Amino acid sequence: MVLQVVEDLIEPQIIVLGCGNPNRSDDGAGPAVIDLLRSRQFPPGVRFFDVGTDGMAVIYKARGATHLAIVDARVPMGTPGSVYEVPGEVLAAPPARGAGLHEFRWDNAIYAGQRIYGDAFPAFVTVFLIEAETLALGLSLSPKVATAVELVANKVTNLLQHWTST
């Protein structure tokens, strides 16, 4: 009974990570969402990080959190600006055998983090993917992806409100 009371008093530690390379046009969607979210008010225990393309940073930033949201661009496949919300366990993937750190991505980080850190890695993981229109060199998001960035920032805000109220 005392353990339950203590657990009820512990606030969730929520991490939101924006992944991507803003020098590759729409690949900067994840960091763009983080920029929008940082301008909003959230309860203590919610933190935002732009982790670029560093899969290992995902493990290090997520360790110790109870909840994790990841935002990234998705390779163009026909419908730019489409948004996909997927449970992390669906996308968790072991790194390829012999893969170096450059090939270690956030999907590998989810897989590895759960196995390395166990209960010290978030039990609740949600991934938001925004389908890119272009990944060419450039600093601007395409109009469809810029609109999707706003939509995802709102979706993440709603998710964070849900996570902090339960």
Which alpha helices (H) appear in the chain, and where do they start and end?
Answer: 2-9, 29-38, 55-62, 88-91, 106-117, 143-165
Note the pLDDT tens digit of each residue in 86-145: 999 999 999 888 767 668 899 999 999 999 999 999 999 999 999 999 999 999 999 999
Q: Which whole number is the average pLDDT over 4-32?
A: 83
Q: List beta partners, residue 84.
A: 129
DSSP assignment of 29-45, as one string? HHHHHHHHHHTS---TT
Mean pLDDT, rounded, of the chain? 92
Counting beta carbons within 10 angstroms of the beta carbon of residue 152, is it exposed (0 to 12), middle (13 to 18) or buried (19 or more)? buried
Q: How far apart are CA 115 and CA 101, in angstroms?
A: 18
Q: What pLDDT does 115 receive?
A: 95
Backbone angle region of 81, left / alpha / beta, with phi > 0 → left and psi within -120 to 50 → alpha: left
Q: Where are the domains of the chain?
A: 11-165
| Number of residues assigned to the chain | 166
Q: Which whole number is the average pLDDT over 58-62?
A: 96
Tell me the three state secondary structure of residue 125.
strand
Q: What pLDDT does 11 receive?
A: 67
DSSP state of 98: T
Q: The pTM is what?
A: 0.91
Q: What pLDDT does 62 receive?
A: 97
Structure tokens belonging to residue 18? 């924006």
Q: What pLDDT does 102 receive?
A: 67
Q: List beta partners, residue 127.
A: 70, 86
Q: Which CATH class is domain 11-165?
A: alpha beta
